[in-house]
């Protein structure tokens, strides 16, 4: 089996190695989704059904989109992203058509991933949905998920969706939400979003791992104290830590420019251990 992280991606998008503090999640995903994406015929050949959908939930900025993109890059799958609120904003009938088109494209280019951001915007519990249109969108989404994936025949023999090249396809749907409880329970049953991953706000240890990844390619002095930063950033999610690192870098560049009155060639700034200097400066 090919280990995730060891394959070359055909673009420069994020890989598993770019995600900090999620080792257990990544190990789990390796077996549950990377293997079926890489070997779409494996599960059907054993009479098994691979994961149809993954529901990622957690606060904004905790890495849901990053994770979805990394799964695509690790597996080489085609990646289609839609933002659910945009879908509902269309005129009646348009949204269902968009969903059908999207899944049809995903089926044609399988193995593929359909990533639906803010899925609660279209897939809220149906009894809460006021508008007829929204109910139809949820139904359409479920139909597409059922059709584009291996489905159970009444006699429980497994059927595989066949792709134009005659090989079994695999379309993985990944939904992201900050409000998992608002989702229609029909979407959370096996065969639809049958794998749920909760990405909470990171604790100190996880923040340290995220910071290590985010500063991996930065020029830091050997004794740079990431532990201290991890300790002093409670409540920060990955997106906040990313912004912190970039802000620190920007400050370091600014300090060098202002203090040296723009005398320095750009190379000497690039060679500075800039993040450490910026952080130290902020503290005093």
Q: Residue 55 and residue 176: Cα distance in Å, rounded?
A: 6
Residues 6+ apart with CB under 8 A from 23: none
213 binds ligand ATP (CB under 6 A): yes
207 binds ligand ATP (CB under 6 A): no
20 binds ligand ATP (CB under 6 A): yes
- Among 63-71, 129-137, 143-151, 215-223, the segment contacting ligand ATP (CB under 6 A): 63-71
**Of 13, 39, 42, 65, which lies in the binding site for ligand ATP, with binding defined by CB under 6 A?**
65
Which CB sits closer to ligand ATP, 136 or 209?
A: 209
C-beta of residue 208 within 8 angstroms of C-beta of residue 226: yes
Number of Cβ atoms within 10 Å of the Cβ of 3: 10
- Among 23-31, 56-64, 147-155, 165-173, the segment contacting ligand ATP (CB under 6 A): 56-64
Instruction: Give least dist CB 66 to ligand ATP, A.
Output: 3
Which CB sits closer to ligand ATP, 178 or 270?
A: 178
Can you spell out the DSSP letters for 126-141?
Answer: GGG---HHHHHHHHHH
Can you list the alpha helix ranges (DSSP code H) found in the chain?
A: 23-29, 35-38, 42-45, 64-75, 84-88, 94-108, 132-148, 204-214, 226-231, 238-259, 266-270, 274-283
Position of minimal CB gap to ligand ATP: 238
61 binds ligand ATP (CB under 6 A): yes
- Among 19-27, 162-170, 187-195, 228-236, the segment contacting ligand ATP (CB under 6 A): 19-27
Residues 6+ apart with CB under 8 A from 281: 251, 252, 255
Residues 168-187: x/- map of binding to ligand ATP (CB under 6 A)?
Answer: --------x-x---------
ω into 251 cis (within 30 of 0): no
The CA-atom distances, in angstroms, between 33 and each of 4, 79, 94, 284 are 11, 14, 31, 48
120 binds ligand ATP (CB under 6 A): no
Q: Residue 113 and residue 110: Cα distance in Å, rounded?
A: 8
242 binds ligand ATP (CB under 6 A): yes
64 binds ligand ATP (CB under 6 A): yes
Which CB sits closer to ligand ATP, 61 or 191?
A: 61
- Among 91-99, 148-156, 225-233, 236-244, the segment contacting ligand ATP (CB under 6 A): 236-244
Which CB sits closer to ligand ATP, 102 or 199?
A: 199
Instruction: Give least dist CB 197 to ligand ATP, A.
Output: 11
Instruction: For residue 91, give the DSSP letter.
Output: P
Strand partners, 175: 55, 116
Q: Hey, is 79 helix, strand or coil? A: strand
Strand partners, 171: 112
Instruction: Give least dist CB 55 to ligand ATP, A.
Output: 13
Judged by the rule CB under 6 A, the positions of this chain that interact with ligand ATP are 19-22, 60-66, 117, 176, 178, 210, 213-214, 238-239, 242
């Amino acid at each position: 089996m090919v280990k995730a992280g060891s394959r070359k991606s055909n673009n420069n998008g994020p890989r598993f190695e770019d995600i900090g503090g999620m080792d257990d999640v990544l190990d789990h995903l390796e077996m549950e989704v990377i293997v079926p994406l890489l070997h779409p015929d494996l599960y059907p050949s054993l009479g098994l059904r691979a994961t149809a959908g993954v529901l990622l939930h957690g606060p904004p900025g905790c890495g849901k989109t990053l994770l979805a993109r990394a799964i695509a890059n690790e597996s080489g799958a085609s990646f289609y992203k839609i933002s659910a609120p945009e879908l509902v904003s269309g005129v009646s009938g348009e949204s269902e058509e968009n969903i059908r088109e999207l899944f049809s494209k995903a089926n044609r280019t399988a193995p593929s991933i359909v990533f639906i951001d803010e899925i609660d915007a279209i897939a809220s519990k149906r009894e809460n949905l006021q508008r007829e249109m929204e109910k139809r969108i949820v139904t359409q989404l479920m139909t597409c998920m059922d059709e584009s994936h291996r489905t159970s025949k009444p006699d429980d023999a497994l059927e595989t969706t066949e792709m134009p090249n005659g090989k079994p396809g695999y379309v993985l749907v990944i939904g992201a939400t900050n409000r998992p409880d608002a989702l229609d329970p029909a979407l959370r049953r096996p065969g639809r979003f049958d794998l749920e991953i909760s990405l909470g706000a990171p604790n100190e240890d996880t923040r340290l791992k995220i910071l290590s990844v985010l500063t991996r390619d930065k020029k830091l002095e050997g004794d740079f104290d990431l532990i201290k930063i991890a300790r002093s950033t409670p409540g920060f999610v990955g997106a906040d830590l990313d912004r912190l690192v970039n802000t620190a870098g920007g400050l370091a560049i600014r300090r060098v420019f202002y203090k040296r009155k723009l005398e320095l060639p750009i190379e000497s700034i690039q060679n500075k251990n800039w993040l450490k200097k910026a952080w130290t400066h902020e503290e005093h």
